Structure formats: structure tokens, C-alpha cells
Structure 1
Amino acid sequence: MDPVTQGAFGAVFAQTQGRSKDLAKAAVIGAIAGMAPDLDVLIRSDSDPLLALEFHRHFSHSLLFIPIGGLLCSLLLYPLLGKRWGLSFLQTYLWCVIGFGTHGLLDGCTSYGTQLLWPLSDHRFAWDIISIIDPLVSIPVLALIILAARRKARKYVYFALAWLAMYFGLSYTLHERAIEAGYQQAALRGHTPITMEAKPSFANIVVWKVIYQTEKDYYVDAVKVSFAEPVYWQGDSIPKLDLDRDFPWLDKQSQQAKDIERFRWFSGGYISQDKHKPDRVIDIRYSLLPQEINPLWGIDLTRDAAADKHIEYFTERGDSREAIGKLWKMIQATKPE
């Protein structure tokens, strides 16, 4: 999730503990600790662009790292804030642990993938029920955190938690409806999907990107779900990556070949050769519009590269303003245009 939402989660859950008169202090310490795991973005390499991808949402997001991460935060925040505010180290540590602990679980609710059980497993958990930015999560919670702190009343904290429970429950329900709609769309094509995933589009839980795979291809569609009939936007398909077919010139022992497998792991296997740039491998899970196969990131290979040379990593954003306008029309739509 975005840093604001991560901080808000750390703050509101920290506010459940301690004295009511300290709700503002709990919010500040919980918010800082709630954002701290994303300091893993500092782990990067000039020569290996995939290192940053491997270590983002890695050990710092693991459930097993929470007590350590909370301790590191409290060792910093106690002398800076806790001691000055007359708090005990134990109280500071408790708020730090709570704030730090919310981070990985919240990230697990998105589609990006979070290693919650590292070092026991390198599985990237992605429950796909919330967008990485969703104002209906962050804004109400922030408002109630501030009210709780200003009025020294914990009832606003409980209001925030009730809102989150309701919103995430609704999102889970719509996610399941999007999955069901995806199977219906696949059946119309005569397909029996091997896997089926639904991911919320940007900043909402109404329009979903549905991805399924057959033996040879990936199919992408968009669907608007509610408690009425779903609305579909048929998307596109793309062949699964086949190294022998797509990159016959690639040395399978080269660093570039190893980097493709690292990128495959990062992308949950959802990778393909770019239709327009044949030396490019793309992550098809993300696009500005949910029915498109128009990647936001991927890797570029170089045919004459040395055996030990890494791939190049690219990101593309396109015309985000135009895409948001189209997405807003999809959210409002009662039928596809």
C-alpha cells in the first residue's frame, strides 16, 4: 500500500492500546513504525536492477520479523519521542510492534506479493482484495485517527476499525464475485482455466482485472461487479513465455536467463514476450486499464550481452490522466461502451 495508508494503519491499531489521553502519541509512534518496513527500498544495486524487486516486501515484511522490527523502531523512537513524552520504553515498544506488524499484513491484501513467512518460505502472498492506493481506505481512517487524538476518545478508533472490517469484507465479497464472473467469461470462450485471478483496478473495488491461464495463453478481461449483473469489457490474450520459442538465441546458462527466472518468480509466473518489442519480457498483471495487456514494467534483454550481464529493468506509466478518466467511466458504466 501507499505510505499514507501504511502509516494510518499503524496509527489506528496502535491507538487501541494505552491511555486515552495518549492517543495522539500512539498515533505518531504507530504511524512511523507502520511505514518503517518500506525502508527496504534502500536495498538496491546499480549493476543488478532486480535486486530491489527481490528485497522489497522481503524480510522486513515477514511476520517473524515483527518483534525485531518493532524493537529497532523503538530503539530509535524512544529517545527521540517516547522519553520526551514521558512514556515507558515498554509502551513505546508495544506501539512500535503493533504499527510495524500491520504493514506486511496490509501489503498481503494487495496484488504485488509479500513474503509473510520468510525465511520459512519465499512464497509471495497476494490476496488481491484491495488496490495499492484506495482513498476509501485511507481518508476515513485518517479522519477518525485525528478525531480520536483531538478528543482523546477511543470510540473513534473503534469506528475506524469497524469501517475497515466492513470495507475489507465488502472487497472480499466483490473479489469472489469477480472470480465467478471470470469463470463465466472463460466458459463463453470454451475454456477451462488452469488458474483464475481477479485484481482490483486502481483506487477502487468496483472494476476488477480478471486474468486466467489456459495451457498456452493468458487471457485478460475487466469486469464491474456489484450485487447486480456484472458488466464485462473483453480484453486480450497473449501466449505464455516460452524461452525456446521466444528467445532461441538466449544462452540458458547466462545471467539474462537467470534474471528471467527471477522475474518470473517476482511476477507470480505471469510473464510473456512483448508483442511489440520481441526482446522484452513483461509482467501482464498490471496495466493502467484493467482490460489491457499494456505493462507497467518488465525487463529488456540484449542479444549480444556478455554472459554475466544483467537484464535492463524498465517502467512505463503512459498517459495516466487519460486512463483514470476512462476508468472512472467504467466505474459508472451500466454496460460496456
Structure 2
Amino acid sequence: MDSLTQIVLGSSVAALAVPASHRRVALVAGGILGTMPDLDVLWFGLAGSDAVTQVTWHRGPSHSLLVLTAAGWLLWLWLKWRSALVGESPRRWLWAIWLALLTHPLLDAFTVYGTQLLWPLPMPPVMWSSIFIIDPVYTLPLLSGVLLAWKLSPGRSDDGPETGRRSRSARRWLVIGLSVSSLYLAWSVAAKYRVDRLAEQSLAVMGLRDAPRFSTPLPLNTLSWRVIAMAPDGYWIGDRSLIADHGRMRFTFRPSDTQALAQLTATATPELRRLLWFTHGFVGVHARQREDGAQRLILSDLRMGLEPDYFFRYDIAGRDAEGRWIAAPEITRLPAPGDRMAGLAWVWRRLMGREARP
């Protein structure tokens, strides 16, 4: 999820875990801890990592529940020694630290990007894909609760009946914000289940019941969805508006040069193998001619973006003199094409049923 969401989620859970007199400090500390796992992007940038490393190692070790549990415990031990505040209520601060850290990767796992929850165990990234990476309906209740809690929370030296009333109000707003956002997340899971069932029924009629597929909400909402099912020579795209659509889902076929990818996979570089592992194989492959006339093979991550303007696109191979595809010495990421505002406008029209279904 985006940084603001992770900050206010970390603030909310940490502030609810500590004593009332510690709440304002916990709001700040939880926000910092809640965004810390994403600092891995700074490391990859400073280290000059290649395109595949930057993408596939983000949400890796820094998002592992195993790593964060150990790191949170070590941080707590240090703070218990150095901070009088943590020393006053060590158990509750341990929970605050753990909750702020661990809710970050768990929430990320609900997106389609993928999160390596159990690194270093050799398993693909978890992608429950029930919520878009930015969703204001999820974020705004948390943000409102944090702002109101900050305003109402008493200082450490405050005392009296009015202070107690304000403290209870601060806690109540935090609970409301966290509850509303959690209910919305639960709704996203239910909506995904509904879309998956509809897709399964329609794909079964097409003879694609067992085809690898995934579903994900379209940007900024959980009412319009996209399902992509893989085929031996391409992939099928289906959209569903839970507001406007009725009846079975309709799918449109898009060809993909799967033979070229299979040829490369036989002698794949570690970078290409890791990219296919990271994407769960949900990729489209198309030949493209550059301005200099060279033929290049472009791999698109089908999980993020709208056809044909996918956010993650990579130059993975070129043709030799005999017309065979030769893996690129280094995989490079291409700029994301397309007009994002036009894409969002299309999503809105599709949601409201003013755009034709595939």
C-alpha cells in the first residue's frame, strides 16, 4: 500500500496498544515503524541495483514476518534499556512495536504486487489481490481516527476528569477508524470471491476452468474488477463492474509470443527466472521494433496496468542475424506508457456501465 496508509495504520495500532498517557508518542512512533519496511527502496537506489533486483527484492526481507518479529523484539530490548517511557509499560510497548511493523506486510499482501511474507523460505510472493495499492476508502477512516486521536489525546502531565473523557474519546476514534477500514478490507475479500466465482463459471463454458488466472480490483476502488486467464498462446481479459454488469463475464483474447518466451526460458538467465517467479508467470510477451530497426522482445507484468499500458514492462531479448531470440545481457525496465488520467477516466466509465464490456 502507499506510504500514507502504512503510516496511519502503524499509528493506529501502536496508539491502541499503549497506555493512554503514552498515546501521542505512540502515534508518532507507530507511524515511523509502519513505514520502515518500505525503506528497502532507498537501499536499492543507493546500491545502484538492476531493474529486476529493485522490483523483485522490494517487499522481500524487509517485509518478512520472521525478520520483522525478530527486529521488533531487538528494538524493544534496546528501547526498554534506553527509554523510560517504554520501561513504564514494556509489554504494551512490545505489542505496539510488533503491531506497527507486522501490519505493514500483512496489508501489502492484500495487493496484487506480492509480498514475501516468510522470506527466506523459498515460496512465491503472497498476492491476495483484493485491494488496489492506493484506495482512499481504506485510508481515510484511519487518517481521520489518527488526526482526531492526536487532537484529543492528553499530554503526559495532564490530569483530571476532562482529561479522562478526552482520552476515552481519542481511543474511541482510533477504534472506529481501524474498524471501518478493516470492514472495508473484509468487503474487498468478499467482492473478490464473488468475482472469482463469476469468472470460474464463464471460463468453464470456454473450456478454461483450470487455466491459471488472477483477479484484481481496478484502480482506486473495489467495485470494478479485472480477471486475466492464461492460455497456451496468450491470455483472456475480463472486466466486471459490481454495479453495472449482469449475467456472465465476457472475455477478450490477447495473443502473446509464448513460444519465444519458452525458447528463452530453456536457457533463462537468473534475472529472467526470478522475474517469472515474482510475477507468478502472469506475463504477456510481444515483439517490438525500435526506431533503429532492431527487434526486441518485451515482457509485461499483466498484474498492474490496463491493456496495453502495463506499469512494469521489460526488454528481455533481441533477435540475432538468423532471427532467433537471444536473451539480453541485462534486463532493462521500460517507461510506463499511456495517459494515467485517461486510464482512471476509463475505469470510472467502466464502473458505471458507460464503457462497453469486453
Return the TM-score normalized by structure 1: 0.84
C-alpha deviation, 1:92, in angstroms? 5.0
Q: 2:55 aligns with which of 53, 56, 62?
A: 53
- Does the CA contact (< 8 Å) of 1:24 and 1:149 recur in 2? yes
Change over 3 Å in CA distance of 1:317–1:334 after alignment to 2: closer
SS at match of 1:136: helix
| Alignment correspondent of 2:282 | 270
Q: 1:282 aligns with which of 279, 300, 314?
A: 300
* Runs ≥4 residues deviating over 6 A: 75-80, 304-308
* Counterparts of 2:219 and 2:344, CA distance in 1: 8
Give yes or no for the alignment of 1:144 onto 2:145: yes
Give yes or no for the alignment of 1:25 onto 2:25: yes
Q: What one-letter code is carried by the residue in structure 1 that aligns with 2:116?
A: Q
| Alignment correspondent of 2:7 | 7
1:250-287 CA-to-partner distances (Å, cap 9, x unmatched) read 6965xx73322121011111123125454211112221
C-alpha deviation, 1:236, in angstroms? 3.6
Alignment of 1:258-337 (within 5 A): 258-274=270-286, 276=288, 278-287=296-305, 289=306, 292-303=307-318, 309-333=329-353, 336=356
How many pairs were matched up? Answer: 326
Q: What one-letter code is carried by the residue in structure 2 that aligns with 1:267?
A: T
C-alpha deviation, 1:79, in angstroms? 10
C-alpha deviation, 1:15, in angstroms? 1.8
* Counterparts of 1:65 and 1:32, CA distance in 2: 17
Alignment of 1:191-202 (within 5 A): 191-202=208-219
Change over 3 Å in CA distance of 1:156–1:219 after alignment to 2: same
Q: 2:172 aligns with which of 144, 155, 158?
A: 155
| Alignment correspondent of 1:100 | 101
Give yes or no for the alignment of 1:189 onto 2:206: yes
| Alignment correspondent of 2:34 | 34
**Further displaced range: 188-197 or 300-309:** 300-309
* Counterparts of 1:5 and 1:101, CA distance in 2: 14
SS at match of 1:202: coil
Change over 3 Å in CA distance of 1:330–1:307 after alignment to 2: closer
Change over 3 Å in CA distance of 1:298–1:61 after alignment to 2: same
C-alpha deviation, 1:46, in angstroms? 3.5
C-alpha deviation, 1:186, in angstroms? 2.1
Change over 3 Å in CA distance of 1:76–1:42 after alignment to 2: farther
1:19-58 CA-to-partner distances (Å, cap 9, x unmatched) read 2233222111111101000111123354632111232111
* Counterparts of 1:29 and 1:118, CA distance in 2: 25
* Counterparts of 1:182 and 1:58, CA distance in 2: 31
C-alpha deviation, 1:180, in angstroms? 1.7
Change over 3 Å in CA distance of 1:240–1:14 after alignment to 2: farther
Percent pairwise identity: 26
Q: What one-letter code is carried by the residue in structure 1 that aligns with 2:315?
A: D
Give yes or no for the alignment of 1:205 onto 2:205: no
1:207-228 CA-to-partner distances (Å, cap 9, x unmatched) read 1110112344321121112597
1:66-94 CA-to-partner distances (Å, cap 9, x unmatched) read 233325666898899x66xx453836554
SS at match of 2:13: helix
| Alignment correspondent of 1:113 | 114
Change over 3 Å in CA distance of 1:296–1:176 after alignment to 2: same
- Does the CA contact (< 8 Å) of 1:193 and 1:213 recur in 2? no
Report the aligned-residue RMSD: 3.2
* Counterparts of 1:293 and 1:308, CA distance in 2: 22
- Does the CA contact (< 8 Å) of 2:245 and 2:353 recur in 1? no
Change over 3 Å in CA distance of 1:199–1:294 after alignment to 2: same
Q: What one-letter code is carried by the residue in structure 2 that aligns with 1:120?
A: L
* Counterparts of 1:204 and 1:27, CA distance in 2: 27
| Alignment correspondent of 1:219 | 236
SS at match of 2:227: strand
- Does the CA contact (< 8 Å) of 1:174 and 1:226 recur in 2? no
* Counterparts of 2:237 and 2:213, CA distance in 1: 10
- Does the CA contact (< 8 Å) of 2:192 and 2:215 recur in 1? yes
**Further displaced range: 266-275 or 166-175:** 266-275
**Further displaced range: 230-239 or 46-55:** 230-239
C-alpha deviation, 1:232, in angstroms? 5.3
Q: What one-letter code is carried by the residue in structure 2 that aligns with 1:140?
A: P
User: Which runs of 5 or more structure 1 residues have no equivalent in the other structure?
Assistant: none
* Counterparts of 2:201 and 2:326, CA distance in 1: 47
* Counterparts of 1:251 and 1:336, CA distance in 2: 37
SS at match of 1:122: coil
